[in-house]
Amino acid sequence: MLTKTVIKRDFENIDALLLSPVCTMLEYRNIGLASRLIRHSLAKVTVNGYKAVFFIGNPAFYSKFGLKSISNFNIKDTGDIPKQYTMGLELVEGFLGTKGGTISIC
């Protein structure tokens, strides 16, 4: 599911998306379906002009798509999710940079 979210900075709000959860039925696991869904979703959001996507999930799985901890972008989540499970992806290189900000995941 893709949900609109906002990165709040001192003097601006930046539109972004949250992609979560990504799940498949047990009988469809381990055949690459979730990976295909993620790649398809990332292609769609890029075409629609979004420049950053955030994910909640297992870093061991999502890091293969280029996701990094939001701390790499100096972004903080206002929710209760442990920071290692909140990741971001720049769809336009340098878009998030290190200017920081906050997002509300939950």
Per-residue pLDDT of 25-46, as tens digits, reads: 999 899 999 999 999 998 888 8
Q: What is the mean pLDDT of the chain?
A: 88
Residue 95 pLDDT greater than 70, yes or no: yes
| Residue 106: pLDDT over 80 | no
- 59/81 Cα distance (integer angstroms): 13
CA distance 70 to 19: 14
pTM: 0.85
The residue-averaged pLDDT of 72-95 equals 89
Pairing of strands 52-56, 86-90: antiparallel
Q: Residue 91 and residue 47: Cα distance in Å, rounded?
A: 10
And the tokens for 32?
């690459």
